[in-house]
Each structure stands twice: as structure tokens, then as C-alpha cells.
Structure 1
């Protein structure tokens, strides 16, 4: 009897991992939002966030989880952000150190700026957990569009992220 329960649990875990790794979230079509949120991390995220702002698909951009050592001028130079865009439209958030912190920093920023719709830009492998953490923090009336940046994650990265996502879903804010 116990072996059957163990076998069912293993099968559920395996099927869940196949789904998680085999059907990663996709990029979203352009749709206007008040803001775009980009947690720092793997390549392509910040570039996509800047593209959204510079094509007037969002008014403003929050890059959350920026290293406190980074100066706005350094950021602008590295990502080739025009001064005009940097001044009007880009906020660097230095408070977050993990995915849960990104969600908390985003909630505080959206509340302070009256944001009612936002686009979350993050890697395809990170989107499910980042969106879940963000939904847990945001008020229910804030519209969230998930805009995944395609990547080529390793098996190990998917394996680790799958387990972080499972833990995040099962125990919520305790771990992330």
C-alpha cells in the first residue's frame, strides 16, 4: 500500500516536471500597461523591459533587485538607455535580493505610483514562480501580463527552479 502511494507521488512529480520543463511560458504580445517590471537576472530581461517602455507600451519601468553598487549612469551606459528615457521612465530598485523580495519591492512601488496594470518580464524558466510571488503581493485589482523572455535553460536549472516553484506554491511566503 505504501509503495503505491510512493509510486503515485513519484509519477505526479515526474509528470509535473515534464510539464514544467516542456511547456515554458511564452513572450506576450504587446499590450499597453501602466508599467513594466523586470527582476534582474539572466540575459534579455532588461532589454525587453526597455523595449516595452521605448515603444510606448508602458509609461514606466521598474528594474527590481539591482545591486546597490550600480549607479544609474552606469546602468544607462551598459544598456544604452537615452538620458531622456532614464529620467522619465526608469526606476532602479535596490531593496530586493530574491524573487520574493522582487515581489515585495514591486508591490510597494506600484502602490506608491498608482499602477493598475503591469507587464512582468522575466526568463521563461523563472516566470511561473515570479508571477506567483507577485500575485501573492499585488492587490487583486492590478492586471498582470506575463511576458517571458525565451532562454535555453539547462536541465539542472529547470530541475532546481521546478523545486523552488513547488516549495513556493506549497508553503508560500516562507521560502522563495
Structure 2
């Protein structure tokens, strides 16, 4: 997981380095973001390893800026390719819904360091046996770089904890547009 977090930070830095000197205005406004990254799920089942997968999806949100402080709300829907075979059959982790807030601090004109927290609901299924939803909480931290007045890139790590001891670690990158 440490390697994934480092890779996300390097990718976000590489995307933003040519534009760090540009003045791009504030972070206020409605946003849409496509996201992709690494998904690791601990199902807390004896004898079952963690499930790894590719995470992809989209988020919408609205931020407000006051001085160097940015705060906002975000909704997100993602899907995961994580699957694992067990003695009881195959388990697939699927969609994950999130609603929460974020709080950040602007560094320079183009960089936002932020934390986030909120509610999350994940779905897992086993072919032939049906599926289950799990409610939980998510916390995370990230960096967002403005590439232009209306385009930004972000890198983020987040941890989710669900019912029945299930947890999730994710490292992702995103590309978004401010409306």
C-alpha cells in the first residue's frame, strides 16, 4: 500500500509541475471528476486474503473558498474489479457509494491539500448466493492541483471501515472539471 501511495503522489506531482507557477484563481464552484486507482479490501474472513482490484468511477461536488480555507461536499460512485475465490465460492466486490465533506488548505495559487470524511456504502456479491450491502465511514487525504482555471488533477488516499469488520484502502488519481 505504501508503494501505491507513493506512486499516486508522484503521478499527481508530475501532472501539476508545469503549472505550479500559474495563477489560476480560487477553488470555489461545482466540480465533476473521473477517478481511477488501486482498491484493497479486507473482508475479515478466516483464511481469505485481501482482495485487490482496480477502482474506477466519478464524483461530483461543490467547494467554497474563504481565504486559504476550502470546504465542500462531495458525492461519488465507483466500481471495483476485485474478486477472490474461496472454499465457499467466488466473492466479488462491486460498487461503492460515498457522500461526505472535505476541508482543505490552499498552498500557493494552484495546490489544495485536503482531508475528507463521510458515509460510504459498499456492495459485495457471490454468484448464485446473492449480494450484501455494508454501511461504513470513510476518511482520507489528498492533494489537488489546478491545471488551468477549470481543469484540475488530484491524488488521494482513503480508508473505509464497514460493518462486520470489513475495511478498504484505496489510492487513486483523478482528473476533473470545474463548472
- TM bucket normalised to smaller: under 0.3
**What is the TM-score normalised by the length of structure 1?**
0.25
More helix by share: 1
**What is the TM-score normalised by the length of structure 2?**
0.25
